[in-house]
Structure 1
């Protein structure tokens, strides 16, 4: 009997398709993205979706799963800039402490804006929300919301990769088998969208129809377009001073035909 893999799970509803019917024995450890980033780099978990920018900052210590990411091509719904001002006039943004990638993406898209802690939202021109807080706000708050996935697509014409699945070196055994189980779970979730939406609704509290539309916007396959978008984001992060250099992507195994 092998060692049970410690698998990180982002605590947001965006993970529902990946864990829909995961047929693999794991120890599931849940947290917001920045918590998982820290735990992964500390060796407290064996594999997890990690913020794209944090992977890049620590790439020499990590290996990537070649078939999985968390991305969107256009609007993603769960990363929202909320402001009553036109975007061109925004000079300060109160940002969530939960996601490193979204904060850097804000800097890339609105380079002149000062980034403030979220508790300073009352004094900022805009606030950045991610995950379930962003979904809830878009659902309930009539203030204009700017979807960072859509803004990114308008700027680059490419998907935005928010998270990649990474493992600290030395990697534990069995990760490629786990990857196959995760991909199979996504495939099954895609094949039964109503069941996915209803089960996620029971767990997270959003209406099933709302979740069904949200899941349609998410992508989990780390294909050629996603990799191009990932590199583009890292280059732009470097250009605004958020990354020293763009790393080489080092995969657990070189598979060029992702399916998810």
Structure 2
């Protein structure tokens, strides 16, 4: 069983949850060797170099995947998926869903995602458009940026992750300080982001939003 890992702050609670879960040490070690940005994990899962990962939501709709109702979601704002204003159009090579979202929202500028985007937004929010905020303005719905997808062993992954969305996962202070130092984001800002902005359960509204987004991308229409 090989599980891919996105090494962004928004999945830090999942990494801690899996560290504490009684998995064989070999599986945990493999996760550290199979990590990368969303676009990389999309590619790894497509070619079955890994068995499962949280991948871009627009990629997760492929028929070859089975999905759990777990992902990276936000409502009304996300702070870490942005379009920089007054810049030439430029996609973020790390992403798939965010580039597609900018397009269906008719946004012009440079797409930036992840921890780098969060750091930039916290410093100067007026320079960027928050794509989740724009999506919410147009649809009244949350947005699903990524979703847990697998090519096999869905029942096993479902068992492992069953309690993850409901758990209030505490970030150990030493890990929080380490991420804060490496990413250049204050510990209190990381806590706020994880406690108030990001969540992981894909329920009815999130399913509706994902269908709306997928349709907009498929038929090349703006929302």
Give TM-score, length-normalised by structure 2: 0.84
**Which structure dedicates a bigger proportion of its chain to strand?**
1
Q: Does 1:235 align with 2:215?
A: yes
The aligned residue for residue 54 of structure 2 is 49
The 3 A distance-change label for structure 1 pair 165 and 191 is closer
2:132, 2:126 → 1: CA distance? Answer: 18
Q: CA deviation at 1:201?
A: 3.7
Write the mapping of 1:42-191 to structure 2, written as runs, cut at 5 A. Answer: 42-56=47-61, 59-65=62-68, 67-84=69-86, 92-110=88-106, 113=108, 126-141=109-124, 144-168=127-151, 171=152, 173=153, 175-188=154-167, 190-191=168-169
Q: CA deviation at 1:218?
A: 0.8
Contact 2:104–2:221 (CA under 8 A) maintained in structure 1: no
Q: CA deviation at 1:200?
A: 3.3
Write the mapping of 1:171-250 to structure 2, written as runs, cut at 5 A. Answer: 171=152, 173=153, 175-188=154-167, 190-192=168-170, 195=171, 199-205=175-181, 206-215=185-194, 216-240=196-220
2:104, 2:115 → 1: CA distance? Answer: 23
Q: Larger relative contact order (C-alpha < 8 A, sep ≥ 6)?
A: 1
- Number of aligned residue pairs: 209
What do you get for the CA RMSD once the two structures are aligned?
Answer: 2.3
The 3 A distance-change label for structure 1 pair 197 and 160 is farther
The aligned residue for residue 17 of structure 2 is 21
Give TM-score, length-normalised by structure 1: 0.73
2:188, 2:173 → 1: CA distance? Answer: 7
Larger radius of gyration: 1
| Structure 2, gaps ≥5 residues long | none
Give 4+ residue runs of structure 1 displaced > 2 Å after superposition.
Answer: 24-27, 139-143, 175-188, 195-201, 203-206
| Structure 1, gaps ≥5 residues long | 85-89, 114-125, 243-260
2:38, 2:137 → 1: CA distance? Answer: 25
